[in-house]
Amino acid sequence: MRTTILFGGENRERLVAVASAQALARTLPEAELWFWAPNGQVHAASRDVLLGHQRPFEIDLPTEGPAIGGIELALDMAEREERVLLLSLHGGAAENGELAALCEVRGVAFTGSGSEASRKAFDKVVAKGIVAAVGVNAPGTISLEDAPAALAQYGRLIGKPAADGSSYGLIFVDTPDDLKALAEAAAREAYLVEPFVSGLESTCGVLERDGQVIALPPVEIRPAEGKFDYASKYLAKDTEEICPATFAPEVNALLQDQALKAHQALGCSGYSRTDFIVTANGPIYLETNTLPGMTASSLYPKSLKAQGIGFEDFLRGQIALAVARKAARA
């Protein structure tokens, strides 16, 4: 089958998706490139333009190359031409199950989790309920109406889009003015509000490989200025990401156990990455990403390296899984 990197997208995580595609394209020089532009059209993209694009986390990739059409027309072509899609996409329809469902109904091979798992994981409220049922420690949810009382009780809250990634839209609630900002943000999109959990940030990848599902070494995150938001994650120079994490062995083992449980309870396939806060009482679940970043600075590739797995081997393994899943569905 023809390997095609589908990257970009219409949502605000498209910048990270382009940066991920740069890493994929460098690793798989034979792969063709399809750019899902912000206007919804898919274009056959130029490798030189993609790899020559500077500041991908800040500036949109120029749209060039012949237009294939909208995403459904592109998927129709992928089915006719027997392409396997290596997804370099994050957030929105790419990660909430919509794109996976469009691929599944056409019989298109694609990397990452299926539509049902993607839908469950993308909704942070739904995901928390599912993983809590299998013993993963997740924080409680606070309604917007109860936020003022909760702020008085806990001293600090955190608000985040209920369906988004890349640390976009985080609101740290410390004052009544922050409550006002939270209410304004929640009027634009669904927000999840939780008690702020004090501790060290960590993430743990899970990988399906050679018929086994394994947890990779956890990453310990020491963000710039104490906040692991979009700027700290992708733009700051002094954010530290340590892999393997320097937590006690039993904490690392628990992180791996909890990440595996979340991956399996949500029904993820191929790979995933689950984020935690490590407190004095153990890890607290934040969310599971079914299409985590693959940029040169991303966390999942760091875990692969610590496990001794080459990035190219990982990608080719995921492509093989996608082809096998297509055959099984057929």
For residue 323, what are the contacts with CB-CB under 8 A and spacing of at least 6?
1, 84, 109
pLDDT digits (tens, 9 = 90+) for 128-138: 999 999 999 99
User: Which domains are present in the chain?
Assistant: 2-110 (3.40.50.20), 122-136+198-329 (3.30.470.20), 146-195 (3.30.1490.20)
> How do residues 15-29 score in pLDDT, each as one tens digit?
999 999 999 999 999
Whole-number mean pLDDT of the chain? 93
Q: Say how many CA atoms lie within 13 Å of 14 toward its Cβ.
A: 18
Residue with token string 């994490």: 245
Q: What is the pLDDT of residues 142-195, one digit of tens each?
A: 999 999 999 999 999 999 888 765 466 889 999 999 999 999 999 998 899 999
- Rounded to whole angstroms, how far apart are CA atoms 240 and 315? 25
Question: What pTM value is reported for the model?
Answer: 0.91
Instruction: Say if residues 193 and 147 touch (Cβ distance below 8 Å).
Output: yes
